Chain A
Amino acid sequence: MSGSSDREARKEERLRTEEAAEAQRRQQRIKLASAIAFLAVAAVAILIVVSQNQSSGGDSGNLQAVAEVEEELQGIPQDGMVLGQPGAEVAALEFADLQCPVCKAYSEQVLPQIVETQVRTGEAKLDFRAYTIIDADSVPAAAAAIAAGEQGKGWNFVEIFYRNQGLERSGYVTDDFLTAVAEAAGVPNLEKWDRTRKSKAVLAEVEDSTKEAQDLGFTGTPSFAVEGPGTNGLEAIGTPNSAGALEASIAAATK
């Protein structure tokens, strides 16, 4: 009897020890899981910060690529929002929204080639037309560009704006930002620019070109239309998918 109860007691003791060890292991795993949860939350926070900062332009105190834009446009005549020789045979109209990230990509990756090969050579002129589609902030941005154009710096304004574009709809298009861009673009008379950009005539111009884009059937930006000896009036060409494709459309309009 005594041997049997000893065995029982040892078995119970062993079970208790195993249970205690198991409980300890579970505690450790829960602690580890809590640490993992903390790290996972931290990882999400880092991802969000990276996402917010990846194109965190819109910083009026720290405008980028001002000299680069100046160099790109150096020596090319500007009249209003038209870039190029007044007598160029082909006019390429670009309907764009300054807040549109695809327009920014186009201005950095596609247009420089066109400017060098067809605008600088006098074959074509580029005409920036506002097509405000992103949100209400697109209107004052476009008006500010047109006002800069009235002082011969429209394309400098547009290009510097794109190089410093913030995340769309993030509210970065403030008076301070627009003024900083105008100043960096070399607008000679900032007071006049400020009056012009708020004028009814300029705001009406933005509205008119947006309507013109819609009438041409464009549903997105940037969209292009070309007019030259080889076209039947103004021809909508939509959004060519490369510099080469836009170049070819402009070349076709010369013949």
Chain B
Amino acid sequence: MRGVATFLATFGIGVATYIAIADSGGGSPVCVAGGHGCQTVAESSYSHLLGVNIAIFGIGGYVILLGAALLRGDAARMVGFAVALVGFGYSLYLTYLELFTIDAICQWCVASAILMTLLFAANTTRMLAYVGTER
């Protein structure tokens, strides 16, 4: 299970880094006509939290999940579970916003949401099935 989580978290770091770079280097920001796609999502006011791009939070979360996946023991298991649950919950909220508020879907954000869902499943399994063991 740690191997699966390591793979998913590494993939997640890549996706979140791509989103952060694409968002910061996209030239002049504009509100886009048409209402679909990554640019609409990125230019909406939901793409930042306290002035920081959500993707930066994503990178931080995936890095912690990678660290938790690489380490053995209950402490790593619980940190992995907690961070994955927060990431999964917030991804659900962001996907809801994309579908019902922003009316635009960004495939990179969806990819990140899927990875976070899988990481949540992996970390939950790791914690519930192996608690108290050294795996």
Q: What residues make up the interface of A, taking CB atoms closer than 8 Å to B?
A: 22, 25-26, 29-30, 32-33, 36-37, 39-41, 43-44, 47-48, 50-51, 54-55, 97, 100-103, 105, 131, 133-135, 167-170, 214, 218-223, 238-241
Contacts and interface: CB of A to CB of B under 8 A. Distances in A.
Given A43-B86, A100-B31, A220-B33, A33 B50 contact: no
Contacts, number: 109
A168 B127 contact: no
Given A25-B132, A44-B89, A169-B101, A219 B34 contact: yes
A33 B45 contact: no
Nearest to A47: B90
B29 to A, nearest CB: 5
Contacts of A219: 30, 32-34
Given A33-B81, A102-B30, A239-B28, A40 B101 contact: no
Contacts of B128: 30, 33
Contact of A29 (B34, B43, B82, B132): B132
Contact of B131 (A30, A39, A97, A102): A30
9 contacts: A26-B132, A33-B81, A48-B90, A48-B93, A169-B101, A219-B32, A219-B33, A220-B32, A238-B28
Given A30-B131, A50-B49, A44 B90 contact: yes
A40 B82 contact: yes
Contacts of A239: 28-30
Contact of A55 (B28, B45, B93): B45
B28 A37 contact: no
